[in-house]
Amino acid sequence: MTEIIDGNAVASEIRDNLTDAIETLADAGSRPGLATVLMGDDPASQTYVNMKQRDCEEVGIESHHVDVAGDAPPETLYDTIADLNADPEIHGYIVQAPVPDHVDYREVIRRVDPAKDVDGFHPENVGRLVAGDARFRPCTPHGVQKLLEDAAIDLEGKDVTIVGRSDIVGKPLANLLIQKADDGNATVTVCHSRTTDLAAKTRGADVVVAAAGAPELIDGSMIGDGAVVIDVGVNRVDADNEKGYELVGDVEFESAKERASAITPVPGGVGPMTRAMLLYNTVKAASLQNGVDVDLP
Ligand code: GUN
pLDDT digits (tens, 9 = 90+) for 238-264: 999 999 999 999 999 999 999 999 999
Burial 66-104 (b: 16+ CB within 10 A, else e): bebeeebebeebeebbeebeeeeebbbbbbbbebbeebe
The amino acid at 163: V
281 lines ligand 1 (CB under 6 A): no
Choose among 196, 197, 220: nearest CA to 208: 220
d(CA 63, CA 39): 17
Give the pLDDT band of residue 7 (cuts 50, 70, 90): very high
d(CA 121, CA 81): 14
Choose among 205, 199, 192, 197: nearest CA to 159: 205
Burial of 187 (0-12, 13-18, 19+ CB in 10 A): middle
CA 172 to centroid of ligand 1, rounded, Å:
13
Question: pTM for the complete prediction?
Answer: 0.97
Q: 207-244 pLDDT, tens per residue?
A: 999 999 999 999 999 999 999 999 999 999 999 999 99
CA 295 to centroid of ligand 1, rounded, Å:
26
95 lines ligand 1 (CB under 6 A): yes
pLDDT at 55: 97
- Mutating to test ligand 1, I would choose from 48, 111, 126 the residue with most ligand atoms within 8 A of its C-beta, which is 48
Q: 139-173 pLDDT, tens per residue?
A: 999 999 999 999 999 999 999 999 999 999 999 99
User: What average pLDDT does range 112-118 have in this prediction?
Assistant: 98
97 lines ligand 1 (CB under 6 A): yes
Q: 38-85 pLDDT, tens per residue?
A: 999 999 999 999 999 999 999 999 999 999 999 999 999 999 999 999
Give the chain's mean pLDDT. 98
Annotation marks residue 96 as catalytic: yes
96 lines ligand 1 (CB under 6 A): yes
pLDDT at 292: 96
pLDDT at 200: 98
- Mutating to test ligand 1, I would choose from 51, 103, 119 the residue with most ligand atoms within 8 A of its C-beta, which is 119
pLDDT at 286: 98
pLDDT at 202: 98
Sequence-distant (6+) residues with CB within 8 A of 105 are: 95, 97, 98, 99
Reported residue count of the chain is 297
Annotation marks residue 52 as catalytic: yes
pLDDT at 52: 97
- Binning the chain into helix, strand and coil, the percentages to the nearest 5 are 40, 15, 40
User: What average pLDDT does range 174-199 have in this prediction?
Assistant: 98
Structural domains of the chain, with CATH: 29-114 (3.40.50.10860), 139-271 (3.40.50.720)
Choose among 182, 116, 261, 161: nearest CA to 173: 161
Sequence-distant (6+) residues with CB within 8 A of 237 are: 215, 245, 246, 247, 248
pLDDT at 180: 98
d(CA 137, CA 207): 20
